[in-house]
Amino acid sequence: MSVRTITATGIVDLYLLFFIHVASRRDIVSSPTARPDSAWVAQQARNASMQMQDWNLPATHLLIDHDAKYAASFDAVLEAEGTEVKRVGPRAPNMNAYAERWVQTLRTECLDHFLICGEKHLRHVVSEFVAHYNLERPHQSRGNVPLPDADRPASDPPILKLPTGAVQCRERLGGLLKHDSRAAA
């Protein structure tokens, strides 16, 4: 995806590459770059593979478009991990609906509220949103609870206990993203 940013030299398009593990709804987002090339994309695939291994969430398939940046080196990184790389057709957004919806969520819940001023600012805003999305935000497809964490695997249903502590509100990005939780009693 691309994001228009304002810099000292003018308006610049910065690009992000993201990966979504559909079964768990966890996402991984690259650092922004103004010049994505095949070497950068292959490095992001290596980073995503390592993150998925840390989460113990193997990827079986990856859907990508026919962009020339997705060269053989990109495919090789993922295929070495046992991931089948599939290319979707041109002008076929429904072929990758999860990715399209994630981009819409990032834009409407976060990026549309900011005037992004450079690469560092975009990196900060997106990293805060991804942390909120992966750790705090309730997901309708997951029973309106936050995504599972390391202490509770994705296969276990959430444990609903009547909390007794005081309510705490965690704010990110100046209060744009909020998460209420109970303090430990």
Burial of 48 (0-12, 13-18, 19+ CB in 10 A): buried
Tens-digit pLDDT profile for residues 124-143 = 999 999 998 888 877 666 66
Does 27 reside within a domain?
Answer: yes
pLDDT of residue 155: 53
Residues comprising the chain, all counted: 185
pLDDT of residue 157: 56
Does 185 reside within a domain?
Answer: no
Does 141 reside within a domain?
Answer: yes
Range of the domain at 130: 2-158
CATH number at residue 10: 3.30.420.10
Do residues 42 and 150 make contact, with C-beta atoms less than 8 angstroms apart? no
Does 150 reside within a domain?
Answer: yes
Residue position matching structure tokens 């304002």: 6
Mean pLDDT calculated for residue range 178-182: 76
Does 164 reside within a domain?
Answer: no
Number of domains, the chain: 1
pLDDT at 31 over 80: yes
What's the chain's average pLDDT?
84
Does 184 reside within a domain?
Answer: no
Q: Which two tokens stand for residue 27?
A: 């996402």
